[in-house]
Structure 1
Amino acid sequence: MRERWGAVGALTGALFAVNVAARLVIRFGFEGDDSAADRVSLVMFVVIGLVLAAVAFRWGRDRPVSHWAGDLAVAVVLALALTVFVAPLLVGENPFGGGAGLFFAQIWLYLAAAGAGVLVGYLILTALGRDHRSQQLKRYAQLKAAKPRRVVRR
C-alpha cells in the first residue's frame, strides 16, 4: 500500500514541479511579455501530457486499467489543486488575481492536457498490444494451443 501511494505522491510532485518551473520561467524570464508566457504555458501543458502518457504507458503494462486509473486520477486532482492554489503563491501572485475566467481556464486546460496525455499513452500501449489485457489474452491463447486435444472413445 505504501508503494502505491508513494508512486501517486511522486507523480503529483513531478506534475507540480513542472508547473512551478514554468511559472518561474515566466516570472523571471518573460515578465510582461504575454506571447512568450503563452508559449511557456503551452510547453508546460505538453510536458504534463507527455509525463502522463509515459506513466499511463508504464502502469498499463503491469496492471489492469481499473487499478491504475484511480491512482492516476488522484495524482492529477492533487497536482491540479496544488497548481491552482499553491503555485501562484510561490511566485508571488494571487491565485484568484486574474479573475474567475483565468482561474477556471487553468483548470480546464490542465484537465484537457492530462486527459489527452493519458489517452495517448494508453492508446499507444493498446495499439502495440502490450497492455495488461492483451497480455492476458495472449497467455490464454498460448495455454489453449499448447494442450493436446483429448481423444474421446466410444
Structure 2
Amino acid sequence: MRERWRAVGMLALALFVVNVVARLIIRFGFDADDTAAADRVTLGMFVTLGLILASVAFVWSRHRPAAEWGADVAAAIGVALALTLFVGPLLVGKSPFGDGAGTFFAQIWLYAAASGIGVLLGYLLAVALGLDHRSQRLKRYAETKAAKPRKPVRR
C-alpha cells in the first residue's frame, strides 16, 4: 500500500514540477506584456502534462485493473491541480486569484481537459494493442482453456 501512494505522490509532484517550470519560464523568459509567448509555453505545458499522463496510463494499465490505477491517477491529478492552483502562483510572486475568477476556473477546465485526454489516449493505446490488464487476463484464460483437453461426460 505504501508503494502505491508513493507512486501517486511522485506523479502528482512531477505534474506540479512541470507547471512550476512553465511558470518560471514565463516569468523570467518573457516580458509581462508578451501574452503570445506565455500562451505558447502554457500550451507546451499542457501537452507535456498530457504526454506524461498518457505514458503513465499506458504503463499502469498493463499491470493493474483500470479501476485501481484510474483512482490513483485521479488522486494524483487532484493533488497536482490543487498545488498548481494555490501554490504555483505563489512561487512566482502572484496571487492565486490575482487574475480573476475567469482565469482561475479556466485553469481548472484546461488542466482537466489536458489530463483527461492524456489518460484516455494512453489507455486506449494499451487497449488497441491488447496490452491492457483485462486483455492480458482474457488471453491467459483462453490459452489455459485451449491447453486442457476436454473431459468426456460419463453417463
The answer, yes or no, to whether TM exceeds 0.5 is yes
Matches within 5 A, 1:74-153: 74-153=75-154
Query: Partners of 2:64 and 2:2 in 1: how far apart?
Result: 17
**Superposed displacement of residue 152, structure 1:** 3.5
Identity of aligned residues (%): 68
- 1:40 alignment partner in structure 2: 41
How far does the alpha carbon of each residue in 1:30-59 deviate from its partner, in whole angstroms, 9 at most, with x for none? 122100000000000000000000000011
Matches of 1:51 and 1:41, distance apart in 2: 15
Q: Show structure 1 runs of 4+ deviating over 2 A.
A: 151-154
User: What is the CA distance between 1:150 and its match in structure 2?
Assistant: 1.8
Q: Are residue 20 (structure 1) and residue 59 (structure 2) matched?
A: no
Greater mean alpha carbon deviation, residues 143-152 or residues 95-104: 143-152
Query: 1:149 and 1:10 mapped to 2: Cα distance?
Result: 49
CA distance in 2, matches of 1:27, 1:17: 15
SS at structure 2 position matched to 1:10: helix
* Equivalent AA in structure 2 for residue 26 of structure 1: I
Report the Cα distance in structure 2 between the residues aligned to 1:79 and 1:133, rounded to whole angstroms: 28
RMSD value, Cα: 0.8
TM-score of the superposed pair, with normalisation by structure 2: 0.97
CA distance in 1, matches of 2:150, 2:78: 52
Structure 1: where are the runs of 5+ without partners?
A: none
Instruction: Give the whole-Å Cα distance in 2 for the aligned partners of 1:141 and 1:30.
Output: 58
Instruction: State the alpha-carbon separation in 1 of the partners of residues 73 and 154 from structure 2.
Output: 55
Aligned residue in 2 for 1:68:
69
Cα displacement string for residues 60-85 of structure 1 (whole angstroms, at most 9, x for unaligned residues): 00000011111110100000000000
Structure 2: give runs of 5+ residues left out of the alignment: none
